[in-house]
């Protein structure tokens, strides 16, 4: 095998060589390089459909890589400072779930913040692990959950010395980081593993003056969304591991749920994007930070909006902040975040990442330019002038502490009944309810339904939040466990 060089992209190189061969395809996919589906070829382009191929000896196999995919994973591990890296084609959802399934089993505990992505909850449904939630502090002005304080982690460890692992968001959707180094030290000192959901932290590995990355902090595993800030194709991701993890065991766990037909479009995009970041990431993310800082200054000068950043840091629950995150509180403009989100899209043709009850997030990354920032700032100014009002009557996105009555797995598979949503108070939910994005559950299986939660759901629906999760798509009914718990 050739020596490792970050200038190489072995999967892309193998595909490029394959394209120059006159191989007759008697294998899948059935569109046969686009000939069988000309409309698809016209939409995506002939080059794209020609590269949509199946695993074969010259291109390696994602389930058991021995050549070009193996080399691409070794290059990724080197670029990210990991002992092992796995290319993932099921999104960071599959990376997060593989990470959790690798370290906890049925009846075993995992310590984590409640403001985790639904993929973490889904992993616990699959494996039967027991969540030990750390309730994050909340910022009263912003109405958002913060990071995990070190003292709260210490208390959870003290009360649950048998827990197998601690999971940390690095960063949260809004850009807030916990003291990851200290949490890793605490976990290891008590014989626990430390996992990081780094769906929004790819750039931590390549930029300067950014929060610490999971691998640099000594974490044992990290799920990294390359397709978010890293520039690869949607649904492509990485799972990183430290030296304490068995590469073979993690691969077996991944293969339980990941497709056996890995997309070479996704795999090559991971390969090319890793190379791009390794060679040019430092300069690219410096530009992203500059754009974000400029946008914050301009948005804050409008009045009413609050584009927040590192001034929030308190050394604990907000240990650090990701300056690339353009998170903006909208309540003093008199509009819920989701209302600003909708207005930007419908009135100004600007699609931001998400809006919740009090905030919006405009996701900045390596593809953004100053002209788009100017357009966003101008639109926000217009939104305030045309649609702004009093903040009276607006609900903050307050964190609601969960009441866990049953494990997620037991609740999800238990006998249940469907009730009108306003008749479910006091019952135990057997399904998920969340606003997506960001995909943090308002309710998860096994949690008791309270009046506060019901009021929150009704308000979020009225404001236009995209609600997902329940069997009833209109969320007029919820599935609850039969009997009283």
Give residue-wise pLDDT tens across range 91-142.
999 999 999 999 999 999 999 998 899 999 999 999 999 999 998 888 888 8
* CA pair distance 361, 357, nearest whole angstrom: 12
For the chain, state the CA radius of gyration.
Answer: 23
CATH code: domain 408-481 is: 3.90.105.10
Q: Is the peptide bond before 297 cis (omega within 30 degrees of 0)?
A: no
* CA pair distance 130, 147, nearest whole angstrom: 21
DSSP state of 448: B
- In this chain, the answer to whether the domains covering 10-278 and 408-481 adopt an identical fold is no
Give residue-wise pLDDT tens across range 34-65.
889 999 999 999 889 988 998 888 999 999 99
DSSP state of 42: H
Task: Measure the N-to-C terminal CA separation of the chain; round to a whole number of Å.
Answer: 59
Class of 282-387 in CATH = alpha beta
pTM of the model: 0.94
Instruction: Please state the φ and ψ torsions of residue 172, each to the nearest 5 degrees.
Output: -75, 170
Residue spans per domain, the chain: 10-278, 282-387, 408-481
Q: Which pLDDT band, with edges at 50, 70 and 90, does 24 fall under?
A: confident
Residue 2 has pLDDT above 70, yes or no: no
Give residue-wise pLDDT tens across range 324-371.
999 999 999 999 999 999 999 999 999 999 998 899 999 999 999 999
Instruction: Please state the φ and ψ torsions of residue 204, each to the nearest 5 degrees.
Output: -60, -25
Q: Which pLDDT band, with edges at 50, 70 and 90, does 398 fall under?
A: low
Please give the pLDDT value at position 4. Answer: 86
| Sequence-distant (≥ 6) Cβ neighbours of residue 196 within 8 angstroms | 167, 168, 169, 170, 180, 214, 217, 219, 221, 222, 223
CATH 2.40.50.1070 fits 10-278, yes or no: no
| Sequence-distant (≥ 6) Cβ neighbours of residue 59 within 8 angstroms | 11, 14, 15, 18, 53, 68, 69, 264
Residue 448 has pLDDT above 70, yes or no: yes
Give residue-wise pLDDT tens across range 163-177.
999 999 999 999 999
* CA trace torsion 288, 218, 199, 341 (10° rounding): -60
Question: Is there a contact between 415 and 482 (Cβ–Cβ < 8 Å)?
Answer: yes
Relative to beta strand 325-329, strand 359-363 is antiparallel
Give residue-wise pLDDT tens across range 408-443.
999 999 999 999 999 999 999 999 998 877 778 889
CA separation, residue 436 to residues 110, 189, 355, 469 (Å): 24, 36, 9, 9
Give residue-wise pLDDT tens across range 206-249.
999 999 999 999 999 999 999 999 999 999 999 999 999 999 99
30-34, 236-240, 273-277, 451-455 — which is least confidently predicted? 30-34
Question: Is there a contact between 226 and 232 (Cβ–Cβ < 8 Å)?
Answer: yes
Residue 263 has pLDDT above 70, yes or no: yes
């Amino acid at each position: 095998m050739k020596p490792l060089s970050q200038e190489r992209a072995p999967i892309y190189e193998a595909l490029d060589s394959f394209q120059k061969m006159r191989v007759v395809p008697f294998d899948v996919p059935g569109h046969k390089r686009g000939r069988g589906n000309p409309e698809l070829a016209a939409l995506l382009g002939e080059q794209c459909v020609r590269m949509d191929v199946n695993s074969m000896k010259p291109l390696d196999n994602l389930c058991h890589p021995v050549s070009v995919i193996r080399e691409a994973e070794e290059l990724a591990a080197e670029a990210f400072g990991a002992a092992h890296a796995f290319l993932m084609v099921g999104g960071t959802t599959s990376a997060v779930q593989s990470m959790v399934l690798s370290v906890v089993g049925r009846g075993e505990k995992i310590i984590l913040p409640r403001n985790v992505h639904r993929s973490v909850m889904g992993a616990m449904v699959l494996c039967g692990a027991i969540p030990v939630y750390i309730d994050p502090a909340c910022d009263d002005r912003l109405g958002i959950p913060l990071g995990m304080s070190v003292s709260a982690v210490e208390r959870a460890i003290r009360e649950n010395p048998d827990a197998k692992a601690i999971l940390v968001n690095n960063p949260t959707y809004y850009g807030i980081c916990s003291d990851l180094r200290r949490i890793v030290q605490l976990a290891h000192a008590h014989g626990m593993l430390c996992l990081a959901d780094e769906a929004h932290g790819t750039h931590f590995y390549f930029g300067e003056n950014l929060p610490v990355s999971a691998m640099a902090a000594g974490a044992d595993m990290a799920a990294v969304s390359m397709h978010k800030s890293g520039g690869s194709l949607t649904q492509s991701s990485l799972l990183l591991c430290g030296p304490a993890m068995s590469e073979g065991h993690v691969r077996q766990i991944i293969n339980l749920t990941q497709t056996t037909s890995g997309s070479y479009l996704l795999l090559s995009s991971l390969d090319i994007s890793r190379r791009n970041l390794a060679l040019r990431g430092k300069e690219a993310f410096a530009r992203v930070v500059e754009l974000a800082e400029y946008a914050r200054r301009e948005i804050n000068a409008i009045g009413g909006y609050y584009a927040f950043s590192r001034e929030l840091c308190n050394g604990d629950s907000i240990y650090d902040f990701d300056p690339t995150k353009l998170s903006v509180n909208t309540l003093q403009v008199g509009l819920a975040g989701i209302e600003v989100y909708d207005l930007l899209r419908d009135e100004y043709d600007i699609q931001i990442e998400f809006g919740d009850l009090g905030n919006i997030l405009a996701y900045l990354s390596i593809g953004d330019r100053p002209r788009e920032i100017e357009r966003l700032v101008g639109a926000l100014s217009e939104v305030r002038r045309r649609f702004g009002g009093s903040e009276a009557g607006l609900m903050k996105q307050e964190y609601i502490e969960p009441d866990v009555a049953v494990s997620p797995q037991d609740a999800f598979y238990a006998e249940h009944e469907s009730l009108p949503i306003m008749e479910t108070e006091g019952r135990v939910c057997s399904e998920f309810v969340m606003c997506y994005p960001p995909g943090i559950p308002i309710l998860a299986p096994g949690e008791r339904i309270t009046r506060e939660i019901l009021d929150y759901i009704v308000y979020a629906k009225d404001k236009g939040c995209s609600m997902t999760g329940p069997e009833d798509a209109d969320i007029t009914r919820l599935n609850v466990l039969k009997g009283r718990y």
